[in-house]
Structure 1
Amino acid sequence: MQALGPVNALYPMPTTLVGTVINHKINFLAVAHVGILNHGEPQYLSIGLSKAHYSNQGIITNKSFSICLPNRQIMAQTDYCGIVTGKNTDKSKVFDSFFGEVPGAPMISECPVNMELKLHEVLDFNTHDIFIGELVQTYADPSVLTNGKIDMAKLDPLLFDMASKKYWAIGQAVGDCWREGKVLKR
């Protein structure tokens, strides 16, 4: 094994679009630094944003945000939302947006899956804010569901890799969770 230094080797990550409202205007930001904090109820998700991002003030003011999962069909629009800042560019017309149960958490009709969250806590790091949100509701286009559950193959999520600076697509399923290891049980 070769030592690489403190290199984050967890990429690729799902590319998401984080939605918020700032000064009565919808804004979306492309974000790959997302995390699942637990699998119980309530469920908590996190997003890590540089303090310089315009979206931070909307999340803090509204105490809410959305996490929308784009697919490769809207890759250009998703990338655009990560290239330009809402401080200087109106991104409210890039997508058809809608609201669910949580005020201040706009979602995207073109994204096959959208989640709305209430802000639970903000962790203040030197250069970044970690926003922890309580998952309130998930919306999915029926075309990405199999037996009422989100199907990764149908979703075709856009993945982000920092090392190659490329977007990737998901591959194929290679095994069953909590089953493959049973061959090692005695």
Structure 2
Amino acid sequence: MDKLTIGAQPLMFPMPAVLVGSNVNGKANYMAVAWAGVANMAPPMLCVAINHVRHTYKGIEENGTFSVNIPSSSQVVETDHCGMVSGAREDKSAVFETFYGKLKTAPLARECPVNVECKVFQKVDCGSHVLVIGQIEEVHVSQDCMTDGHPDISKVDPIIYSFGDSGYWKVGEKIGKGFSVGRSYKKE
């Protein structure tokens, strides 16, 4: 397979489109983020990369807490809006109904099928962005998105962001079971 070099860029597939929530001056604010992922298993942690000047980052600094809300594909318009508009210029607190869980300063978007409450564990200044590592304090999942006691990706129907074309995508079909399908590999 021939390869082309395209230069250094933060290209990763897939990238989840999530909403990072923080209270800024006592008001809930949500920001769309595609640079997010798992940071650790025990204790469980997530990380998000946020530009230093973002309004949401001010709330993270202020409270030491944040939320990661996983919207469904039916919420792509609201999610994109939260990424296009700064909370410093427009009040986004009414885009989603906010509730609070264990952490009283991490706003959670009720309409999102999955909400993760995080306490800041560490911040790493990477240059243009700060990598905020959050220790997960609690996870909330809509009952109708569960199957056999676990969140079901087909029911959550998360939004996937594509860096190359700036497109939003839906999850496709299941192609195998992790830590299982590889057993069929045969050395040649």
Fold in common (TM above 0.5): yes
Structure 1 residue 36, shift from structure 2 partner: 0.7
2:24 and 2:58 in contact (8 A); partners too: yes
1:62 and 1:103 in contact (8 A); partners too: no
- TM-score, normalised to structure 2's length? 0.94
What is residue 138 of structure 1 aligned with on the other side? 139
Q: Distance in 2 between the 1:25 and 1:9 partners?
A: 33
Secondary structure of the residue aligned to 2:75 is: helix
2:48 and 2:133 in contact (8 A); partners too: yes
What is residue 93 of structure 1 aligned with on the other side? 94
Q: Distance in 2 between the 1:125 and 1:99 partners?
A: 30
Secondary structure of the residue aligned to 1:175 is: coil
Equivalent runs, 1:42-121 vs 2, <5 Å: 42-121=43-122
Equivalent runs, 1:36-47 vs 2, <5 Å: 36-39=38-41, 41-47=42-48
Q: Distance in 2 between the 1:99 and 1:14 partners?
A: 23
Q: Distance in 2 between the 1:126 and 1:180 partners?
A: 39
- TM-score, normalised to structure 1's length? 0.95
Q: What stretches of structure 2 of length at least 5 have no aligned partner?
A: none
Q: What stretches of structure 1 of length at least 5 have no aligned partner?
A: none
Structure 1 residue 163, shift from structure 2 partner: 0.9
For residue 3 of structure 1, the aligned residue among 5, 10, 14 is 5
Q: Distance in 1 between the 2:128 and 2:169 partners?
A: 27
For residue 21 of structure 1, the aligned residue among 20, 23, 29 is 23
Q: Distance in 2 between the 1:33 and 1:118 partners?
A: 18
Structure 1 residue 5, shift from structure 2 partner: 2.1
Secondary structure of the residue aligned to 1:178 is: coil
Aligned length: 185
Q: Distance in 2 between the 1:3 and 1:88 partners?
A: 39
Structure 1 residue 137, shift from structure 2 partner: 0.5
Q: Distance in 1 between the 2:162 and 2:46 partners?
A: 20
Q: Supply the RMSD in Å over aligned alpha carbons.
A: 1.3
2:22 and 2:65 in contact (8 A); partners too: yes
